[in-house]
Structure 1
Amino acid sequence: MPEEHQMVNEVLQTSKALVRHIKATTLQHMLPRKVKQEVDTRWNTVIDMLDSLLSVYDEIQVLLGERKEDEMLPEPREFLEQLVELLRPVKQATAELSASKFPTMHLVLPWRKKLEGFYMAAANDDEAPAISALRKMMLRYLREKFVIVDIHQIAAFLNPRMRTLKMLTEAEKRAVHARVKALLPVMGSGLSSLHSKKPTTSRASTFADFEDDLVPDQEDDEIGLYLKTSVPPSSADDDERWILEFWKNKETELPRMSKLAKQIFAVPATSTACERTFSLAGFVIDDRRNSLKPEKVDDLLFLKSYYANASAGVTEDFPEFSKKFNKVFRSGAEWIRMVENIYGSEWSE
């Protein structure tokens, strides 16, 4: 391991040991805020741990000094602060891309470009050599592992506020438009009512081969209309699902692109949502309920998902939720039995 990387590893190991020590002694009760432990299976817990230590760093320093345990404190403090600032964009990106109550696929491309720009930026004069080396390593891994494919670019294009694709070259923009145009024909009927049709006559024109086609290219027509659409700028008050509302309102004007957007935005950017469902299944199927039929497990998991999404208003944009709900719960008595399976019989008392 290079010397620069060894320093980062030593700081992390010292921080982990300090958190374990604080939690195993009475020191935690003497601190104004709790320190957090890093968990191997949880994303972003490294930066959460370092952040929690920095928030009470002065208090920890005093307590360790009184106990003659100064060697347990990760130093220097400036190094920890630089390390946290280097990791913070990754935490923000993974948090947004792992969301499950609003679309995330359109965020992949801009976050890839944002992270690349952040790690390509020149280091500050006071940045530690180990942090600069880690910055270069993270940039290399970002380019190797964070691969952009067609669906990411198409999703970014279907984000009305990024439809000009400023982060791409002109050649890449044209390629995205071509891929969208190729997908639109399979999205169903388009704007036939808005198009002029060829005049029909009882006899074919002698020069039909030379006449212009009066029917515009429907795919180009929708893409052109979309590019000219007026979209209000983003604001802090925006609902996270505004993009679904936009395409819902465009179902008549842009029918094919609206269907394409619905299909694209139904795909999560990461597997986190699936992993959460697997974890939930582990709570549903336990030692006392190991004979549940697969269909019943599916219904229970759906119930949890339905109410989680209903509280966020997602079910209003996706009527399929309600269709499934009506299919699962055929009567009030069955609905109560389902809820009791999750929350216990005291729920209905």
Structure 2
Amino acid sequence: MEKRRKTKVVQIGSVAIGGDNPIAIQSMTNTDTRNIESTVSQIIGLEISGCDIVRVAVPDQEAANAIAGIKKGIHIPLVADIHFDYQLALTAMENGVDKLRINPGNIGSANGVREIVAMATERKIPIRIGVNAGSLEKEILAKNNGVATPAGMVASAQKHIQLLEEAGFDNIVVSMKASDVRFTIASYESFAKEYDYPLHLGITEAGILRSSAVKSAMGIGYLLLNGLGDTLRVSITGDPLEEIEVARDILSAIGRYEGKRKKVEVISCPTCGRTEIDLIGIATEINERLRGVDKNIKVAVMGCIVNGPGEGRAADIGIAGGKNKAVLFKKGEIIRSLKEDEIISVLMEEINKM
């Protein structure tokens, strides 16, 4: 793992990103922002799951006005996602939003950008420039026969950054998202050679859970292992809570998870012809039950004695199967033998004691 790239530090409400600060997990609500109650309810669920920063869409003035009510009901920084209308950004900031996600080049007139910068500077509100391969400017696409390229992504970011810097603003975060993993990686790597602004990582339009988890682990994981990235979002077509779980899994897998919520790691074997218990059912049930457990522990669920004892030495607690039974171990030491129908209940009982 390469040493983490040092960037400017940006403060988003109570969360600092960049520099040596922990990599923050972000998500976005899929509720109607104008419905304050449902939006707050979803954000509270995200908070409990380990979300550090949350973004909401602000498509109109009613949604911008709702920011004030949403802020009152949540405990993590709130980001307003705004396109085309700079007045919405001003209203969102007036109502207490902690960060803006805009592209200055499509937010309105130069005067509008200056008004946003003036208020953002006064209130110390950072701006994320979100470059997306699917919405590059026509003049940039025209330089490559209408095809998006990593160089075009960087050019777009440079254009938006210049608009802010010329207005005297550098409290900036940048993202360079695409749905193609290698394209995304190349875009972030190229940008990082030119600027030291913090990077928000993500593979956009990544699909439903399995597709997104694979693409995000490959793309985001690669960038993190190579020292890039200060916040991340796993974009999933579905429940935003799944985004947090996958994000935590990615960070945990590379030893970078530093969230307030503790992380249970379950290791389980893929099963084979030696397995003589319902390991798939047991592992599935244990994973489900451990979703709400707030502990930093490693749990091993192994199908037989071939790898069970070895994995047991690396786990805090676990089981290794036999014929219609299993042994329970802690730190590699066998504690007792269990009947198959008591494996789950006894294992959970012991985990709860830890």
Q: Which has the higher helix share?
A: 1
| TM-score under structure 1 length normalisation | 0.26
| TM-score under structure 2 length normalisation | 0.25
Q: Which has the higher strand share?
A: 2
Higher radius of gyration, 1 or 2: 1
